[in-house]
Structure 1
Amino acid sequence: MNELFDIVANPAFWIATLRIATPLILGTLGVLLCERAGVLNLGLEGIMVAGAFVGWLAVYLGAPLWGGVAVAAATGALFGLLHAWLTVGLALSQHVAGLGITMLATALSYYGYRVSFPKVSAPPTITPFGDMQGLGIPVLQAQTPLTLLALLAVPTIWYLLYRTPMGLAVRMVGESPQAAEGQGLSVSATRTGAIVAGSALMGVAGAFLTLSAFNAFFFNMVNGRGWVCVALVVFASWRPGKALLGAVLFALFDALQLRLQQSQLGAVMPYQIYLMLPYLLSIAALVLVARKAAYPQALMKPYRKGER
């Protein structure tokens, strides 16, 4: 028990927790925007892979780091536009379209890497974002600017959703597209805009992995983070503040299991048990919260203009 307390009391533990949480925060906010407009976006995993690859490749080819972030966001937005065309324009299954985009984006990224670097034995590296020294807060000054961007995105998304006419429109098309159409809103345009903006955030979430957490792109680096974000939206009851809490909670469990493996406690049980720990605890938290979650009423329901 003392060893566990020492782990949690160490500032390095909280620095690692916030670093692990950063792509989850951005990805969860992206999914939240899409689902608030009534569209499930299961393309998140692939969009994160694409964002990680193109952002890193842009910087490797000479673009500034923020230029790589912008390229990743634009790539995510393009895949979001494709998803919107399939699910909003053509009213196809949101599950099938999202999974298809995940496979397409992942395959294109891996193909692009193989074509760009056909003879390398190890991934080429870049100089990633550095720490933000001078902020005065130890946990924050050990992070990169993309972590600060993720934290600032939480109140920004909350303000947009709950304090602006645009956010009201997004929530209305996610709850009752018929009522939104009756108020003169374009359900198609509103949903498309939300999907594109949310997918851009997903692209940035992927770029964090190659431009901040690591300095190279390698296969399977997203490692299921996209699917975790989809679950975190339910845990958050589609609210940005709770999305931040859920992302930090999962990251805390993940950082804890890494340290437990390296401690004396790690010799007590097989390491696979510790690897399962963040997912088991997150599932337990999800089950407790999901029962009371108020999901958008029009989520996953295609809508055509004039239908009742």
Structure 2
Amino acid sequence: MKKYNIFSKEIIFAYIKSMRPYLFFLSGMAGLLGVVFCGQTASAGKLISILSVVFLGWGVNQVVNDFLGLKEDRINAPNRPLVTGALPIKAAVLYSLGLFVLGGFITYILNAYALIFYFLVFLLNIAYEYSKKIPLLGNIVFGFLLAPCVYYGAMCVNGKGLEVLLDKKLFLLAIAVILINITVAFFTYYKDFKGDKITGKRTIIVKLTPLRARYFNYLVSFIPFSVVLFLLLSPIWRQRLNLYFLGFMLISFIIMQYTAFMFFKHPEGRNTYYSLKWNFSGAVLFETSFIALINPALAGILYFSNFILVNYLFDLHKDHLS
């Protein structure tokens, strides 16, 4: 049996690579929305703790996904650390378990009730892998995966219990997060088409085939923005609308439409990987836009810094097979 040091820099790097840091912002911004809209101001220490959990927690979920989806990854992403052995399974389990326990401990200190949503995200992540056997169910489960982050962020700041589920502002934000991540999953499945088909996954892309599914691209990328129409029609939300929010949302809309165009043009092949950069960027910016309803200045800083960071971190992963 090959011996290895699970604390070696090579294995640590392989684990971080498997976490796919460019995806941290999807959960990070969802959690921050809860913080911003909870009605109370978070201390610096509490804010750092919350963001650390929601950022790193999503990275742990990516490693868990790789472990559960090894069969299809051997086809779709044969160069991923877990597939090649650069990240031993034992090390992946130990690191993931350690971070999971640490995140749970931090959550318990912040608000024990928030553990409900903390555990829910991880349970939904496991369910997600198996939900891909049913067309559209995988998209729906993936969308619901990140919605608890909104409530998690709010609960960790205001100290409330499950009554946060009755907060209309948080509910609308959770719906927005669900819809944008259903869209994210739709485009992600293009890249995974070959392996999913061979291993029996029945995603919507497998069911329709990429060449047929691409005709739904523009419709799917528009659906999340229907939430904005609700904002325009609701008297309560209309009072918060401002040009910053509308401008940021317009840019996000253009990016998601460009994503739809790229996957229409390249529904198969290596470009389905590189086009994901726009998919993830558009989704993160969509979530970030809502912060402008409360704090336009903060939203502006986060909007452009998130765009730069997501693109920079994605470009570090140039291998389309990893």
TM over 0.5: no
Higher relative contact order structure (alpha carbons within 8 Å, sequence separation ≥ 6):
1
- Give the helix-richer structure, 1 or 2: 2
TM-score (norm: length of structure 1): 0.30
TM-score (norm: length of structure 2): 0.29
